[in-house]
Structure 1
């Protein structure tokens, strides 16, 4: 039986069809918003996964290029590895859903969101997030708290729900909020220096819109939702729990009160080793449970320390930022470098400037085909003192790089003012909390060191949260370190300038955040951000007056658009020749702009001269120094500009009568010629005699 239910969001129809497709999935739905359509399949294993201490949820977001009428590029011609956008969307779906599953539920759960049709005005990412919640709620999987997601723009000081492409282009903010009917569960934002009070009001606006979509999901569940299975919750043997607790609690308490991280970790490892020696043989088949009890004891001690004793693990005040140091120019041959250290978190940013043609090409379902600013984040195992295989970037690395990219991108100069492609790499050298926000500061330092004229510098900070069991008591922490993130309830990252916010990313382990928590985190983050910016300003107060001597210089020419073909030549022959002769990089544009890039000014100027000559128009009356290319009985052909020849008739070669052309000129000679006429067929008639005459006249006038 096919069930259909629909509602209206921002004047457009949001519709769900259940029972039409995917008959063997636990739940398979079509959800559409306008002409954007996604299919979501949600399934769970029948039995819990043994021997794990985490919830095995996997979320996949599959982009199909047929959704926008495209055939994939490349040789294989099919979708391969997920795009960066798809990976970020999968992360965005996972984060608000994961905390809402029953605690101790360890069945494998997989959510597959497939984008089938895209109308650019209606975001498939937002639709997929709503569809994933709807599918879980309708399914028999033990998930009951519906989560709604909305996007909000800001145009002319007005909040726009589900902005269209035109509205997104005009918007100074791009905000995504996920919420249950009671609380906000996730926030993602990018903005053009949005004031804190405006951002808070925007989140409130989004929360109210989410409530209506939650009600829509609850209506669907009431009409055709499946009966929920009773979850098999993993429980730890009470005797084991009691014995491990009695044996280790006092030792852990002593360890967790050690302020020095290395000393604390060393003692914790020793305690764990003692626990293993004491209990592994007795509970040989429950080693993961032993580890879970040890974790819960540490968590209890740390949370009680902060919530009830007003003491942080390292002794800082709750609103205090760790010691900061900044340095620039630490690598001699790169275009720009910045080293940012906050406590035991340290990130090195390295900036590289390149030709606009080196911008990243995007082959996806969005309407963007390239991006000029690229931010990449690396998190090697040595940054936390571990040994692991070195592989490509995972979802976490891609997500952190994208967040830093969002924070910095609004501050970059326009292409017209600074015609470079820009890449920044964040190398995490040491990690003890909030490396993504340290990446923002390190990147800004690197860009300023590279001479990039930013609107203003930016910095980022991560805020944390500790609550009690009934959420009646909560404390917001500034600049959380690793242990506070690990045992805490929230990771609330805020980046921006002295004027406002450029990026936000919020994750929580709770069922949602209170309004008080959101406001406090945003306002306290501003105080911390201004403190960090002051430290950065003491290191470098503005961009370098000149870019690095190792960075390429850019020269821009504006020519008639129809002259671009003269530069390129048949089959690209001419532009390849120029590049081969000068060693420069050349980008041409349909509007007539030509960008030449080279770190060698001599080579660049040579390329500029060649292009100017190629595109210069021959004018009647002008004198040129040309080269004789061919001789005929009736005259000599002379190249006066690249690929532009004219004829000097034998009668125009000299003042006296000329019997043979060879008596006056030979092939390869350079001679002065004057353009006498361009006939209706474009043929150029030249005169050596008149050029000599005019030159002698000018010489006499000068004397």
Structure 2
């Protein structure tokens, strides 16, 4: 007999249901979440054995969308799901970032959470259901987890009208797309894209989402109470060794002795802290660690130290040294106000930018801030270059692409070269959100725009360097951005009851700090925001302070960027393709295409790509202005319907006693009577015209057979 537990709550106008006990019973924790018409199975499992020590929490989260959830069969040659889409990767990151701070960092076992979408309805976001379900599954698993956590999505309509967990249709018309996760007391994660939203509206939106957590967290809590027997069994069984472990440090030298030896080197540690060079700091810090290690009697000459294998002793020492270095840096910041490199809390590192780096590309920029450097290249393409996205919502085509690459050499390392990982996809998406709202419409600028950021150096916040470099590269390519966009990464140190917010954090400050808070936007407002925490939440007061300080930093960075390029180029690069948009009558589309596509194929053979929409809008994509002009003339000649009063430029193709025949738009011919050639009387058209001569003509009427009557004389009036 299957024993199941179920909890239901009404949330944001829809029914939210948690079910456990029937599915995935061999997993440590499993919850089926039904929200509206969406169902997601969330499963949490940990390895059987302790000892997984990799320097970080060994948590992996996998969000999976199945095509059958929307009643679809996967497209393409393979009719099954394969590698994760970018959307699934981004969703996995959202879930991971929302719950990771709540796991015990000393739990030395690999943890895996899998969220599978079994049913999909566009009225309910499956990522919201998956994140809530992951929190509930972790609570039921017996894995040390200080939850539950909740997540909400917030949209905005009009002036300050917030929407909680809006439908996909409502979100498309929203000025804001914000996701916020946290507990009842604090915020854990924020991810947002916005249409230049003010600081205050962004903070109100975060608070609006956070205020909706209570009923969901209460429902998860009640479910866990009903299933406490299951959780207790895990704690006394599979995870008993963790909960009953000794708290003593297993090392051949006491922790106090190691700390005293490290503190004795405070002068050298301060010198390292003041050094601006990342690689030199790393080398000097290793020298200090080696000296302290030897001073404690760890010679390793005989392969052993204090009866312990040398490698084990060194690993134990390195862990303590790393923790003490972390404390030293953090304490120096909160007590002396001095950061790594000697900066103050609000200081931004030196900025250097250039544009127009390469001849053949359509636009390029170099953005360097401290030890972080991004080379960003812009490419303009046609509508055929748009990215097709096949999701549970259907197929769409994206005309703005931003890709981020992070090679190993950017941090002075050697490693595997392969396809982009989760980090690359996530950072690229954040920069994409930052620029999306300032791009021109397809009617204003009918190009597919691709920006590629190559990180050539990294020492903190390469994603924000990508935002700055991408804005400069796009403007260098002639993309008419509405406004300049800049970005900054903020950090946080909470130590001994003191709180310090840091502007423009370096890589070491990111590693040693408690927060990575990235804000991008224009002088008008915020366009993207992302926050990740290593502590179990921060208050809205701290968040408000961080947003204000970030705004000041963004303004400074933007002023430095504008010294290089303050507005988009008036013209696109000579090497960039040309797009000309014209409108033809809908009933002339068939004439443009021709029988069996013969006519449009001949136009393409002239060196152009042609895109024809059902409403008669024709886009001509050509490598040069000359090709574009010739193709457009041919199209107009095929599809134009001349009216009385229209003026055209044409060529004389024949002369007779009573007038001249003129061809215009490539495919149209008309007669200019001898009396309509010039103001004075002439005996013959040949007196003033020659075959092949270019003339401006005006349509003055049609004869009984529908032939066009033209006038050179009236075209001059």
Q: CA 1:300 to 1:239, structure 2 compared with 1: closer, same or farther past 3 Å? A: farther
State the alpha-carbon separation in 2 of the partners of residues 560 and 241 from structure 1.
86
Q: CA 1:464 to 1:295, structure 2 compared with 1: closer, same or farther past 3 Å? A: same
State the alpha-carbon separation in 2 of the partners of residues 342 and 625 from structure 1.
58
Measured after TM superposition, the shift of residue 643 of structure 1 is: 10
Measured after TM superposition, the shift of residue 165 of structure 1 is: 2.6
Residue 355 of structure 1 corresponds to which residue in structure 2?
382
State the alpha-carbon separation in 1 of the partners of residues 597 and 79 from structure 2.
26
Aligned partner of 1:477 among 502, 506, 510: 502
The TM-score normalised by the length of structure 2 is: 0.84
Aligned partner of 2:140 among 138, 141, 145: 138
Q: CA 1:311 to 1:700, structure 2 compared with 1: closer, same or farther past 3 Å? A: closer
Contact 2:607 2:623 in 1 (8 A): no
Contact 2:52 2:110 in 1 (8 A): no
**Deviates most, 379-388 or 248-257:** 248-257
Residue 255 of structure 1 corresponds to which residue in structure 2?
269
What is the aligned-residue RMSD (CA, Å)?
A: 3.0
Residue 163 of structure 2 corresponds to which residue in structure 1?
160
Q: CA 1:519 to 1:12, structure 2 compared with 1: closer, same or farther past 3 Å? A: same
> Does residue 613 of structure 1 match 2:626?
no
Measured after TM superposition, the shift of residue 278 of structure 1 is: 3.4
The equivalences for 1:54-453 within 5 A come to: 54-156=56-158, 157-225=160-228, 226-228=230-232, 229-230=234-235, 231=239, 232-233=241-242, 236-240=249-253, 242=255, 244-251=258-265, 254-255=268-269, 257-258=271-272, 259-260=274-275, 261=277, 262-273=279-290, 275=293, 278=299, 281-282=304-305, 283-284=308-309, 286=312, 287-367=314-394, 369-453=396-480
State the alpha-carbon separation in 2 of the partners of residues 699 and 174 from structure 1.
61
Secondary structure of 2:333's partner? helix
Contact 2:453 2:470 in 1 (8 A): yes
Residue 603 of structure 1 corresponds to which residue in structure 2?
627
Q: Deviations over 1:276-324 (max 9, x none)?
A: 8736732436254333222112111111111222211111111111111
State the alpha-carbon separation in 2 of the partners of residues 675 and 271 from structure 1.
95
Measured after TM superposition, the shift of residue 247 of structure 1 is: 4.7
Q: CA 1:395 to 1:278, structure 2 compared with 1: closer, same or farther past 3 Å? A: farther
Contact 1:252 1:298 in 2 (8 A): no
Measured after TM superposition, the shift of residue 263 of structure 1 is: 2.6
Measured after TM superposition, the shift of residue 117 of structure 1 is: 1.6
Residue 492 of structure 1 corresponds to which residue in structure 2?
517
State the alpha-carbon separation in 2 of the partners of residues 313 and 699 from structure 1.
79
Residue 529 of structure 1 corresponds to which residue in structure 2?
554
Contact 1:619 1:675 in 2 (8 A): no
Q: CA 1:272 to 1:77, structure 2 compared with 1: closer, same or farther past 3 Å? A: farther
Measured after TM superposition, the shift of residue 421 of structure 1 is: 0.7
Contact 1:256 1:313 in 2 (8 A): no
Residue 660 of structure 2 corresponds to which residue in structure 1?
none
Contact 2:9 2:15 in 1 (8 A): yes
Contact 1:93 1:129 in 2 (8 A): yes
Q: CA 1:201 to 1:253, structure 2 compared with 1: closer, same or farther past 3 Å? A: farther
State the alpha-carbon separation in 2 of the partners of residues 445 and 564 from structure 1.
39
State the alpha-carbon separation in 2 of the partners of residues 567 and 519 from structure 1.
58
Q: Deviations over 1:506-529 (max 9, x none)?
A: 011000012221011100000111
Measured after TM superposition, the shift of residue 368 of structure 1 is: 5.8
Contact 2:353 2:564 in 1 (8 A): yes
State the alpha-carbon separation in 1 of the partners of residues 304 and 532 from structure 2.
38
The TM-score normalised by the length of structure 1 is: 0.86
Secondary structure of 2:357's partner? coil
Give the number of aligned pairs.
Answer: 648
Residue 618 of structure 2 corresponds to which residue in structure 1?
594
Contact 1:253 1:298 in 2 (8 A): no
Q: CA 1:386 to 1:602, structure 2 compared with 1: closer, same or farther past 3 Å? A: same
Contact 1:587 1:594 in 2 (8 A): yes
Q: Deviations over 1:512-554 (max 9, x none)?
A: 0122210111000001111111111111111111111111111
Runs of at least 5 residues in structure 1 that lack an aligned partner in the other structure: 628-638, 646-673, 678-684
Residue 493 of structure 2 corresponds to which residue in structure 1?
466
Contact 1:401 1:436 in 2 (8 A): yes
Measured after TM superposition, the shift of residue 102 of structure 1 is: 1.4
Q: CA 1:641 to 1:202, structure 2 compared with 1: closer, same or farther past 3 Å? A: closer
Secondary structure of 1:255's partner? helix
Q: Deviations over 1:174-198 (max 9, x none)?
A: 1100011111000011101111111
State the alpha-carbon separation in 1 of the partners of residues 715 and 575 from structure 2.
48
